[in-house]
Structures are given as C-alpha cells and as structure tokens.
A and B are shown apart, each in its own frame.
Chain A
Amino acid sequence: GQNIDQPTEMTATEGAIVQINCTYQTSGFNGLFWYQQHAGEAPTFLSYNVLDGLEEKGRFSSFLSRSKGYSYLLLKELQMKDSASYLCAVSDSNYQLIWGAGTKLIIKP
C-alpha cells in the first residue's frame, strides 16, 4: 500500500529553527510537495522536490532523499504566522498526490 508518515504535532519557539520530517512508501515517485494549511483555510503550495538534495526558498527549505524515501521541511527564523499544519504529499506513478495527515506546528513566543 501507499503510506506517508509525518509527526502529528510539533512545538517550537519564535525565532528558532524547526525541521518537519516526512517518510513515504508509494507506487512510483514523481516528486514530493510541501503545502501549508492554516486552521480553517485551504492548503497553499510551499515547495517541490524531485531530485535529491536541498531546495531553498527564503526562510523555508526542503530536502529529499529518494533512496531513503525521506524528506524534511526546514523553517528558519520562526514567526508566529508560521503556526499552521504542514502537509507532505507525493506524486505517484499516475501523477496523483498521496497526502500525509499533516504536522501541526505550534509556535510559542
């Protein structure tokens, strides 16, 4: 079966760095997406990885290791507005997205 695992909840302090991990087992792989979802709102696109390595975009970076079936999202200089759920999704062999349950990130002052 297809499976994506990520921690249910994480807590971090404003100004700090946090790493949210995602492991996956899917039938085929055509890339991994990270989305941000604030409470009561729609998911919005953050990043995409298809090759191994680190993609940096401002305060957010995403890493992929295809051989390990592993990705992480790194958030630096945390701000209160970063409090949200972070969803990991893998594009499978049919280009359909398989979604993780999301990691709820709580930022404390």
Chain B
Amino acid sequence: NAGVTQTPKFRILKIGQSMTLQCTQDMNHNYMYWYRQDPGMGLKLIYYSVGAGITDKGEVPNGYNVSRSTTEDFPLRLELAAPSQTSVYFCASSAHGEASTDTQYFGPGTRLTVL
C-alpha cells in the first residue's frame, strides 16, 4: 500500500513552459486535493475532486487545470509557467471529505522552480 505518490519530486521550468504534476493514490479514496505551500505560508487549496469526473476550484486556481478520469489519478496541469508558481505542491486524498473526522493523507510533494 503506497498511499499517495507524486512525480516528479523536483522540477525546474522556464517561464512559459508547461508541465503536468502526477498524483496517484491506492487507498480507493473519493476525495483528492492539490495544495501549494509557499515559505512561511499555510497550505493553499488549488483544486479538489469529490470523485471521478468531478472537479472544483479551490482558493487559488488561476494558472492551473486538473482532471479526474479515474479514482486513483488526479494530475495537475500548469499551462504557462510563471515565477509566481514557484512553490511546493502537495497532493492529498481522503475517504469521504464531508465527514468532519476525515483525515487527509499527503503525498511527498513536488518542488517546482520557475525561472
């Protein structure tokens, strides 16, 4: 049981390039989330999904896109990378999402630098 896995671990992009951050979970969780974490700041929700085929915006969705074609996978797409997107990106999953006791499980993160 690997939990939540993310690839790549590190990436350097040039301004204007695009890339996809991969996230996979093997816990059969319905809910999945993408966060970014900037130094000295709390986690900010980018997008989330309550199940396959359903996605919704979080607090900071601009510049990103997501898809959820399967329960297991929730990729995050950056279309035109900007320096402001330099951050650590965490993917997380939870079983229910609407249960107040629901715990989120996090992947190891992707450290992205845009130059």
Contact = CB atoms under 8 A, between A and B. Distances in A.
Interface residues of B, number: 22
Contact of A48 (B40, B41, B44, B103): B103
Contacts of B100: 30-31, 50, 91, 95
Contacts of A87: 42-43
Interface residues on A, range: 20 to 34
Nearest to B39: A101
Given A30-B100, A31-B101, A91-B100, A4 B42 contact: yes
Interface of A: 4, 8, 30-31, 33, 41-45, 48, 50, 87, 89, 91, 95-102
Interface of B: 40-45, 48, 58, 90, 97-109
21 contacts: A4-B42, A31-B101, A33-B103, A43-B43, A44-B106, A45-B103, A45-B104, A48-B101, A48-B103, A50-B101, A89-B42, A89-B43, A91-B100, A95-B97, A95-B99, A95-B100, A95-B102, A96-B48, A96-B58, A97-B43, A101-B42
